Amino acid sequence: MSRKHTISSRDLATELVESYIIESGLQPNDRLPSEREMCAKWDLNRTTLRNAIQRLVDSGVLYCRMGSGTFVSPPKLVRNLQDVHGFSEAVREAGRVPGARLVYAVLREADKTIMRNLRVPLGTEVFDVKRVRTIDGIPCSIETTIVNMRGCKGIEQHDFEKESLFDVLHQEYGIRATSGDERISVTTLDAIEAELLNMEEGHPAIYKSGFMSDDNGEPVSCYRTTALSEHVRYATEMLAR
Amino acid sequence: MSTIDYRSPIYLQLREVVRTKIEEGEYPPGMAIPSENELSEMYGVNRLTVRNAVEALVGEGLLKRIQGKGVFVVGDRIERDLDTLSGFRQTIHERNAEPGTKILAKVRRKAGKLYARIFGISEDDDIFYIRRLNSANGEPISVEHTFVPSTKVPKLDGIDLSVFSLYEVYGFYGVSPVRAYQTIDLISLEARDARMLDVEPGATVMLFTCYTYDKDNDLIEYTRSYTRGDKCSFTVHNSA
C-alpha cells in the first residue's frame, strides 16, 4: 500500500491533542497547556498545532476564549433516538438540569399536515405546544409537539414549563408512545428561532421531525425540533436482526 | 480429488491447482490471482487452457472477473450486513441517483495513541486508514474516513476496494458486523474536505460517527463520514 504522505501532520497532531485530553484527565472547561508547551512536548510546528486545535474547535471538542486560551468543551447531551424517554429524563440521566420555556400552548384545529400525521379528520381539536428546551439553563432546542387529544382531554390544563409532556401523557392518561419514524436534516435558524436560542440568524442546526405511536400503532403526537448541534448529539444503535 | 490425475485434461488439472491455492490461502480472498499470461508461463500450458480453468472457477463463484483489472478470489459471504439493519437510512434527494465510490487513500499505519485507545489495541499495532468519496450521479455526497484494525483484516492492503466492498472483505475474514452505534453532529468543513465535496470551506455538513462491532464485541471499524446536508436527509425508525 503506498502513499505514506496520506496521513498529514495535521491528522497526527489532532490525534495527539485528542488523546492528551483523555490521558491527562482534563475535565470540561479545563484549560489546555500553552501552544508553546504543546509544540515542545510533541515536537510540532506552531501552524500544525494551530490547525489541529482549530479542527477540534470545529468539531466541538475544544473552545477558545480570546486572550485566555483553549478549553475543553462540556460534553454534548446524547439523545438516543431509539429510546422513547422524554427530553427531561434524558437530561436528568446525564446528571444535568433540564428546563423549558413555553413559547405557546394552545388548542387548535388540525390542518392537512396534522390530519395526515395524526390520522384525525381535518378540523379536529389538537393540543399544540411549543417550547425552548434548556440544559443547565442554556437554550438547546426548540420543540413543537402536536398531541392527538383523543385519549387526553384536558391536557392543556397542565403547565408544560414545569411538567414533562412525556410524563403527563404516561402517568395521567396511561398513554405511552412506543414507536415512531423520524427524519433528520440540516437547517439554518430564521430570525425568530435565532432569538429563541440566543444565536445568530442563519446559524446551522439539526432539524428533526416525526411522529410517535402507541402500542396499537395509534398516532400519539407529531413534532418538529430544531436543535443546536453544539449542545445535542443524536445517536442510534443498529443491531443484526 | 482422486478423480483428477495426470491423464485428466490439463484445464481440469489446472483448475484443481488454483482451487487448492485458494483453499490453502496462497491466493487469499479479495486478491487477484496471477494473470493468464503468468499462469500459462508458470505451468507451460497455453492461454486458452488457462482461461478454461479460470472460467470454471468463475462459474463456481470462487473467482470474480473484473474487466480490465483481473480475476479476484471471492471469500465467504456474510449473511447479514448492516445495510439490512435498522438505523439511519440515507435518502438522496435526487431520484434514481446512480451511486459511486472513489477510493482517495488507503494506507497501513501505526495505531498511535488515539486509535490504540479507540480500538483497545497497542500503539504499535497496525491499522488501515481508508478515505472514500461517495457520489450520486457524479456529484459528491460524502467523504468517509474509515479505520480498521489490521488484526481483524490482515490483508486489507492488497485488496482492491473498488472490486469488493469493505463488508464483503469482512465476510472473507469471518468478521461479521453485528452492532453499530452511530451519532450525528453538525460540523464546519475544513478546506481539504470542502474541496472534495465541492462546497465552500467552512460550510456546515452532517458528521456521522460510526462504531461497528463484531460478535465478540470488538470494535472492527470506526468511521467518520462528512455528508452534505443539502443533498440528502436521514430517516430512522424507533421502537421501544
**SS3 state at B60:** helix
Residues of A in contact with B181 (CB under 8 A): 235-238
pLDDT at B226: 92
Provide the residue range defining the domain that includes B66: 10-73
Give helix then strand counts, H and E, for chain B: 6, 10
8 A C-beta contact, residue A221 and residue B69: no
In CATH, what number is assigned to the domain containing residue B37?
1.10.10.10
Q: Do A16 and B114 touch (CB under 8 A)?
A: yes
**Residue pLDDT, tens place only, B138-166:** 889 899 999 999 988 888 888 888 788 78
- In this structure, of A2-6, A133-137, B147-151, B197-201, the range with the lowest mean pLDDT score is A2-6
Q: Are B141 and B183 contained in the same domain?
A: yes
**Residue pLDDT, tens place only, A177-234:** 888 888 888 899 999 999 999 999 999 999 999 999 998 989 999 999 999 999 999 9
Q: Which amino acid is at B171?
A: G
pLDDT at B96: 65
- Reported as a pLDDT band with limits 50, 70 and 90, residue B118 is very high
pTM: 0.81
Does ipTM exceed 0.90? Answer: no
The string of DSSP codes covering B121-147 is S-TTSEEEEEEEEEEETTEEEEEEEEE
Q: Which amino acid is at B208?
A: F
Helix A9-23 / helix A46-58 crossing angle, nearest 10 deg: 70
Does B89 have pLDDT greater than 70? no
Q: What is the nearest CA distance from B185 to chain A, expressed in angstroms?
A: 6
Nearest CA in chain A to B186: A229
Instruction: Kindly report, as residue ranges, where domains of CATH 3.40.1410.10 are found in chain A.
Output: 77-235
**Residue pLDDT, tens place only, A225-234:** 999 999 999 9
Q: Do B85 and A238 touch (CB under 8 A)?
A: yes
Residue B240 lies in a domain: no
Which one of B131, B204, B233 has the shortest CB-CB distance to A204? Answer: B204
What residues contact residue A170 under an 8 Å CB cut-off, 6+ apart?
A: A176
Nearest CA in chain A to B115: A15
CATH value of A4-72 in 3.10.20.30, 1.10.10.10, 2.60.120.260, 1.25.40.10: 1.10.10.10
pLDDT at B80: 39
Which of residues B38, B53, B73 is at a domain's end? B73
Alpha-carbon torsion angle A55, A60, A65, A67, nearest 10:
-20
**Residue pLDDT, tens place only, B178-213:** 888 889 999 988 888 899 999 988 889 999 999 999
Q: What is the nearest CA distance from A215 to chain B, expressed in angstroms?
A: 10
Q: Do B237 and A180 touch (CB under 8 A)?
A: yes
Task: Point out which residues pair with A143 in neighbouring strands.
Answer: A131, A225
pLDDT at A148: 94
CATH class of A77-235: alpha beta
What is the Rg, in whole angstroms, of the alpha carbon atoms belonging to chain B? Answer: 21
Q: Do A184 and B235 touch (CB under 8 A)?
A: yes
- Reported as a pLDDT band with limits 50, 70 and 90, residue B221 is very high
- Angle made by CA atoms B13, B14, B17, in degrees to the nearest 5: 95
Residues of B in contact with A229 (CB under 8 A): 184-187
Does A51 have pLDDT greater than 80? yes
Counting one residue from chain A and one from chain B, the pairs whose CB atoms sit within 8 A come to 138
Nearest CA in chain B to A176: B240
Sheet with A98-109: list strands edge to edge. Answer: A98-109, A125-135, A138-148, A219-227, A204-213, A179-188, B232-239, B89-92
Q: Can you say whether the dihedral through the CA atoms of B193, B195, B198, B199 is positive or negative?
A: positive
Higher pLDDT, B197 or B83: B197
Residues of B in contact with A240 (CB under 8 A): 80, 82, 85, 176-179
The string of DSSP codes covering B70-109 is EEEE--PPPS--GGGSSS-EEEESSTT--EEEEEEEEEEE
Which one of A54, A204, A238 has the shortest CB-CB distance to B186? Answer: A204
Q: Do B238 and A180 touch (CB under 8 A)?
A: yes
Q: Are B65 and B93 contained in the same domain?
A: no
Residue B4 lies in a domain: no
Q: Are B186 and B115 contained in the same domain?
A: yes
**Which three three-digit cell numbers place residue B111?**
495505531
Which one of A7, A205, A239 has the shortest CB-CB distance to B107? Answer: A7
8 A C-beta contact, residue B56 and residue B63: no
What residues contact residue B131 under an 8 Å CB cut-off, 6+ apart?
A: A6, B103, B104, B105, B106, B143, B144, B145, B146
Q: Are B60 and B89 contained in the same domain?
A: no
Q: Do A237 and B181 touch (CB under 8 A)?
A: yes
